[in-house]
Every structure is written in structure tokens, then in C-alpha cells.
Chains A and B, each alone.
Chain A
Amino acid sequence: MSKIFLITWVTFKDSIRNRALYGIFFFGILLFIANIIITKMFSWELGKVAVELGLSVVSISGLVIIFFLSINTMSNDIDKKTLYLILSRPLTRSQYILGRYFGLCMIIVLSSAILGSCAAFSAKLATYGSEGYIPVNFSWNIFLLGLVFLTLSLIVVLAMALLWVSITTHPFTAVLLSLLSYFIGQNVENVKNIISVSKMFVENKMLLKITEVSSWIFPNLAAFDLKTTAAYGLPVNAAYLAWIALYGLSYIGICLILTVLVFQRRELA
């Protein structure tokens, strides 16, 4: 356990030192300034625009961290042979994978916490003096819930990305496959719904089967998306949220186990 924690801490410190991370934070801050300007372009429910834009920025920044920073960190270990140095120590491959994953998770959580605070601050600032134009049921508790589930969806995508890194031999392929999986995950439910009701596809049993299988393989990322719920303060069901959390955590577990299994069999020399 202490070895996993050690790798986690090293990964976290390495990523903090990475200048790309500062670029992402700078990008986030710029977008929050834009949030204030864009929100003022609307006349009704300004709070909705501010919250949705703010949380979208948290999500975009998190995705940039995953696709560019996290995948690179893992791929560089293999490409630059740093991995040999790490694995020459009394450390198993599974401990390395788990350590790296938790370290990168810490970066995502930190990014969500900082950018989430900025999102809340910019939403407050953007709606200052326009309190009557905030959706009637808006609540900061649901905003926080939205942020938590957004972070959970990011760490699900991270687990999926690590699996692709372990399977592929090139970081570009890993980024491409992770992006594709993210896109499928965001839309699999929607596509499945359209196909099952559309007259054009309803006869195509093969397509229905493919979407059904895809919905089991790829995570339903739309389920974690509570941006609209947070923006309007729509009612939330605790049991439903608990199921989503369980769904997400179990998907992470499956991805990590598969990553460890693939990585243990991988020829590194």
C-alpha cells in the first residue's frame, strides 16, 4: 500500500511541476472571464448560463489533462524507458499502474476543486445585481453535486484512457482511442434511444444489437452529466445518484484490473 502511495505522490508532484498544467489553469481562468462577458449577453436565467459555462470549463480542462497530460505521463514512462528505473525497484507492475492512476486522479480532483471554485465565483460575479434572473430552484448544494459527478466522470475517462495506453504502443493511438471512447460514452445512450424509436432503424436488428453491446462496453458518461440539473436546481434522487456513483466506481475497477492484466503481460523490452 505504501508503495502505491509513493508512486501516487511522485506522480502528483511530477504533474504539478509540469508547465502544461499551468497552461490548462490559465486557459480555465481566461474562460471564466469569458463566462462573465457571455452571461451578460442573455436576458433571462443568467445563472443557468453562468453555471453551465463554468462547469463546462471544468470538464474541458479535465479532459485536456487526461488526453494530453495523463496519457503522456504514462506513455513517456514507456517511451523514455523511465519505467525500467521504476520497475527495477521492489515494485510490482500493478502497484505502478495503481499509483500512477491515483496520482493522476489527485491532479484531476485538484483541477476540479480549483476550477470549480472559480466557476462558482464567476457565476456569482456574473449574476451579481441580477439575482432575479437566477433560476428559481437553483441551489449551491446541487451545484456541488454536479461538480462531484463531473469529477467522477473524468476519473472514469482517465481509467479508460489508461487501459488504452496499456493496450496500444503509441501515445497518439491511445489519445485517439480514448477520445473515441469518450465520444461513444457521451452518446451511446442517446444513439440507442434514437435507433430504438426511429422507423429508419427499428428493423435493423444488427444495429440494435451493436448499440446494445456498446452500451455495456463503454461507460454511459451522459449519466454523470448533472450540468443542467445544477444550472436549474432540478430535483435529484439520492438513490439514483448512489447507483450512478456505484456504476462509475465499478467501471473504474474493471478498467484498472484490465489495465493491470494487460500491462503484466506486456513485453517492455
Chain B
Amino acid sequence: MRSKPTILLFLCLCLFVVLYAAGFTAVKGARQSLGVNYRLDVSPLPPDLLKIFSGEFRGLVADYILLEIASFVGSNKKISNEEWNRIVLAFEQSLNLDPYFEQTYVVAQGLLPWEAKLPEKAISLLDISRKHRPWDWRPGYYMAFDWYYFLHDYAKASEAFLEAAKIKGAPVLLAVLGGRFALKGGRTQAAIVLLQAMLNDPDMDEYKEKEITDRIDALKGVMLLESALKKFKEIYNYLPDSLYELIEKGFLEQLPENPYADRYFYSKDDGRVFFDTIK
């Protein structure tokens, strides 16, 4: 026979279990409609101050901030400009705590230029990763892409592409693209010098070497033609109708060879020469 207090205690326990189950179900149901995370739980502390508070566990705090950003953005909530600014601060905090983490710059690049329309912010964050990850060509590549695609700054895009191309293991496409944007951005000579320096790499395979050599030849051809066109204009005060006129008037003995096509493409409107027709 159990004593009265024990039975009473048992009954109280049962009552609390029932109340708890009811409360749990109600809270769960109410919070389900709020999505994965309805607010960004990241402190607005300046990155340097957060570093002090994080102490030796700054790597973990950086990971936590990243998870918070991913969870907040993943909640499919419409994000306001003010919230995007907080997300940028969170990325800055995370990169200040751990500037090496690959996930930080990949997520920042995936969100800031595309979703938040903040390519400049993405570039400044990518630059931190680029400086801390000298073995990784992708931060530089993303920066170059942002300069080109979002900001239409071909000179900076070319510079970033060529810098990234110098990193061991980087695809040759970066060097080739660097050369293309150099031409568009008016820094052909600098691009030729950088591409020629890349050829000094003793580990370079034949395919990569040919791609870079072709791009150097194409750029040199463009430079030669543009220089002849400039001289032509200085003397005649107009631009020739075709590049062949440069030979006829004695500015060139022959037209340089284009490794990508049977000729160079010339725009009489602005006197620019291109090695292909891709704009």
C-alpha cells in the first residue's frame, strides 16, 4: 500500500506531464510558421571587439555566425536593406575571427552581389580571404568576376584575374580572361608582362603554355595594330577604312597573325582592335 504523499506526488507529476505536453505542442505549432530563423541573432558589436570577447574560441564563434547567416537567409523571409547591412557586418565579424574559412567567402559571394546587390561589399570581404589564402585562386577569381559582371570595371577585373591566375593550380582560363579584360580595360601592356612572367613556371603543362602564348601573341598583335592606327590618325587626321590600309600607306609591312581567327577585327568608330568578336 503506497502512502498518501507518494500518490499525491505521482498525481502532480502526471498533471505536469500533461500540461507540459499541451504547452510543448502549442509552442511548437505557433513557432512553426516563423520559419527556420526569423531574426539574425548576431551581436552588432564591431568585429575587433567581438574578437576580444571570443578569446581563444574565435574560430567557433566565426562558425556560429556563419550558421546564423545561413539559417536567417534560408528562412525565405524578404530581407530588408537594413538586414542586409547586418548580414554584411556578420560576414565581417566572421572573417575577422577566422579569415581563412572557405565557407565564409563562398557564402558571401553567393549572397551579397546576387541577392543583396552589394558587389563592392562582396569584393572587400573576398579580398580578406584572398590575402589569407595565398594557395586558393577562387577568392581572386570571384573578385574579378564581380568587377567585370556587376561593376563593369574591366581594368580591375583583368588585374584580379591575372593575379588569381598566378596561383598554382589555377585554371588557365583565368589568365586568358585576364588578357581579354586587359584589352577592354586599356591595360594590355601590363597584361602581356604578367602573362609572360607566368610562362616562367617550370611546372606549366603544354596546354596551359599554348593558351597563354596564344593570348600574348593576340594581345601583342592588337597593340601593334592600335599603335599603327594611332600613328595613322596623327598624320591623316582620320582613321583608315580597313586594317589593310595600314600596309598600303606603309605603316606596317604585314598584318600580325591572330592565333584565334584568320584576321583581327577593327572598329572604325573608335579605332579599337579586337582578336575576336565577343563583346
- A-B CB contact pairs (8 Å), 12 listed: A41-B67, A42-B63, A42-B67, A43-B103, A44-B102, A52-B59, A56-B57, A186-B55, A194-B48, A225-B56, A228-B98, A231-B100
Q: How far is the CB of B104 from chain A (nearest CB, A)?
A: 9
Contact (Cβ within 8 A) A59 B59: no
Bound-state CA distance A45–B102 (Å) is: 6
Interface residues of A in 198-236 (CB under 8 A from B): 221-222, 225, 227-228, 231-232, 234
Give, as a whole number of angstroms, the nearest-CB distance from B55 to chain A: 4
Residues B100 and A234 in contact, CB atoms below 8 Å apart? yes
Contact B56 A45 (CB under 8 A): no
Give which listed residue, B48, B60, B103, B135, contacts A56 with CB less than 8 A: B60
Instruction: Return B139 CB to nearest CB of chain A, in Å.
Output: 12
B106 within 8 A of A: yes
- Chain A interface main SS type: helix
Q: In the complex, which residues 39-53 of chain A have their Cβ closer than 8 Å to any Cβ of chain B? A: 41-45, 48-49, 52-53
B52 touches which of A52, A59, A187 (Cβ 8 Å): A187
B63 touches A49 (CB 8 A): yes
- From residue B129, how far is it (CB to closest CB) to chain A in Å? 12
Residues of A within 8 A of B135 (CB): 136-137
Instruction: Decide if B101 is an interface residue (CB 8 Å cutoff).
Output: yes
- Looking at the assembled complex, report how far the CB atom of A58 sits from the nearest CB atom of chain B, in whole angstroms: 11
Q: List residues of A whose CB falls within 8 A of some B CB.
A: 38, 41-45, 48-49, 52-53, 56, 59-60, 135-137, 153, 183, 186-187, 190-191, 194, 221-222, 225, 227-228, 231-232, 234
Nearest-Cβ distance from residue A249 to partner chain B, whole angstroms: 19
- The reply to whether B52 and A228 contact each other, CB–CB distance below 8 Å, is no
Task: Provide the bound-state CA to CA distance between A253 and B267, in Å.
Answer: 78
Q: Bound state CA distance, A5 and B103, in angstroms?
A: 49
- A227–B59 alpha-carbon span in the complex (Å): 8
**Within 8 Å CB of A45, what residues of B?**
101-103
- In the assembly, what is the distance between CA of A231 and CA of B55, in Å? 17
What is the interface of chain B mostly: helix, strand, loop, or mixed? helix
Bound form: Cα–Cα A227–B100 in Å: 12
Restricting to B78-123, which residues have a CB under 8 Å from any CB of A? 98, 100-103, 106
User: Provided the pairs A232-B100, A234-B100 are in contact, do residues A52 and B56 lie with their beta carbons within 8 angstroms?
Assistant: no
Complex Cα–Cα for A96 and B101 (A): 47
With known contacts A42-B63, A44-B106, A52-B63, A228–B56 Cβ distance under 8 A: no
User: What 10 A-B pairs are tightest by C-beta distance, nearest first?
Assistant: A186-B55, A52-B59, A44-B103, A44-B102, A45-B102, A187-B52, A225-B56, A232-B100, A56-B60, A56-B57
Chain A residues within 8 Å of B59, by CB:
48, 52, 56, 227-228, 231
Beyond contacts A44-B101, A194-B52, A227-B59: 15 other A-B pairs, Cβ-Cβ < 8 A, are A41-B67, A42-B66, A44-B103, A45-B102, A45-B103, A48-B59, A48-B102, A52-B60, A56-B57, A183-B55, A186-B55, A187-B55, A194-B48, A228-B100, A231-B100
Q: Which residues of B contact A (CB under 8 A)?
A: 48, 51-52, 55-57, 59-60, 63, 66-67, 98, 100-103, 106, 135-136
CA distance A41 to B71 in the complex (A): 10
Q: How far is the CB of A85 from chain B (nearest CB, A)?
A: 38
Task: For B106, list chain A residues within 8 Å (CB).
Answer: 43-44
Q: Does A191 contact B52, Cβ atoms closer than 8 Å?
A: yes
Residue of A whose beta carbon sits closest to that of B51: A190
Query: A136 to chain B: closest CB distance in Å?
Result: 6
Q: A41-B67, A194-B48 are in contact. Are A221 and B56 (CB under 8 A)?
A: yes
Enumerate chain B residues within 8 angstroms of A137, measured Cβ to Cβ.
135
Select which of A48, A53, A225 is within 8 A of B101 by beta carbon.
Answer: A48
Give Cα A45 to B136, complex, Å: 13
Complex interface: chain A residues within 8 A of B66 (CB) = 42
Residues of A within 8 A of B57 (CB): 56, 59-60
Residues of chain B contacted by A52 (CB below 8 angstroms) = 59-60, 63
> Which residues does chain B contribute within 8 Å of A43, judged by CB atoms?
103, 106
Tell which of B59, B60, B103, B136 has the most Cβ of chain A within 10 Å. B59
A191 to B53, CA, bound (A): 11
Q: Which residues of A contact B102 (CB under 8 A)?
A: 44-45, 48, 135
Query: A53 — nearest CB in chain B belongs to which residue?
Result: B60
Report the bound CA distance from A234 to B102 in whole Å: 14
User: How many Å from the CB of A171 to the closest CB on chain B?
Assistant: 23
